[in-house]
């Protein structure tokens, strides 16, 4: 009888221990599910915002008229969770100075602020191209002129507007 009593008491202790472990397991599963749902919802909201920004950037890009004689060759846009960009590539017979002067005037009228200009580099080497950066609110606009490599790339210059990320690493972001 004594052994039976011990077995019953041991079984009750074991059941209590198993119940405690089970409850801890269930609690951990509920917490993990909550974190997962929260993460998915945040990502979904971020994607929605970046998709809206991509559309906004496309509209901004198309509102910037190219200089006379410049032909839009290609248009691109993309969005990721926390960033977006839109822009295009142009072919023109205009010189760098003519392109630069045109966009300086047009972008200033549209509220863009010139930030800086520097040589455009390919694997750290200058090849005669120039890159110019402008800023407006939370947006950056990059104009890259390809100079002597125009035939190689198939276009004269490209113009991109970005939000949430910086497209070209040769120019540091500057807060104005």
The pLDDT score that the predictor gives to residue 38 is 55
For the chain, strand residue ranges (E) read 71-79, 84-91, 113-122, 125-136, 139-145, 157-163
| Strand partners of residue 160 | 87, 142
Q: CB neighbours of 120 closer than 8 A, spacing ≥ 6?
A: 126, 127, 129, 130, 131, 144, 145, 146, 147, 170
Q: What is the pLDDT of residue 167?
A: 45
Nearest-angstrom CA–CA distance, 80 and 58: 15
Output the six-digit token pair for 55. 């559309």
Q: pLDDT category, 172, cuts 50, 70, 90?
A: very low
Higher pLDDT, 152 or 8: 152
- Other C-beta atoms closer than 10 Å to the C-beta of 74 total 12
pLDDT reported for residue 39: 53
Alpha carbons 95 and 113: distance in angstroms, whole number: 22
Is the pLDDT score of 84 beyond 60?
yes
Mean pLDDT of 130-157: 91
- Residue spans of alpha helices (H) in 86-165: 96-109, 150-153
- pLDDT tens, 108-142? 999 999 999 999 887 877 778 899 999 999 899 99
The per-residue pLDDT for range 16-71, each reduced to its tens digit, is 666 777 667 666 666 665 555 555 545 555 557 767 888 898 999 999 999 999 99
What pLDDT does 17 receive? 66
Q: Mind listing the pLDDT tens digit for each residue in 89-113? A: 999 999 999 999 999 999 999 999 9
């Amino acid at each position: 009888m004594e052994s039976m009593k011990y077995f019953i008491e041991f079984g009750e202790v074991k059941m209590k221990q198993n119940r405690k472990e089970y409850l801890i397991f269930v609690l951990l599963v509920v917490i993990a599910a909550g974190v997962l749902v929260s993460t998915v919802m945040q990502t979904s909201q971020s994607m929605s915002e970046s998709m809206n920004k991509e559309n906004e950037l496309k509209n901004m890009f198309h509102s910037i008229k190219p200089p006379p004689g410049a032909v839009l060759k290609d248009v691109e846009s993309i969005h990721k969770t926390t960033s977006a960009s839109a822009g295009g590539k142009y072919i023109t017979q205009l010189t760098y100075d003519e392109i630069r002067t045109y966009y300086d005037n047009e972008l200033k009228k549209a509220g863009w602020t010139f930030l800086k200009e520097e040589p455009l580099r390919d694997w750290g080497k200058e090849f005669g191209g120039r890159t110019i950066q402008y800023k407006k609110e939370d947006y950056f606009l990059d104009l890259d002129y390809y100079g002597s490599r125009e035939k190689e790339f198939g276009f004269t210059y490209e113009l991109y507007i970005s939000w949430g990320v910086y497209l070209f690493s040769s120019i540091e972001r500057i807060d104005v």
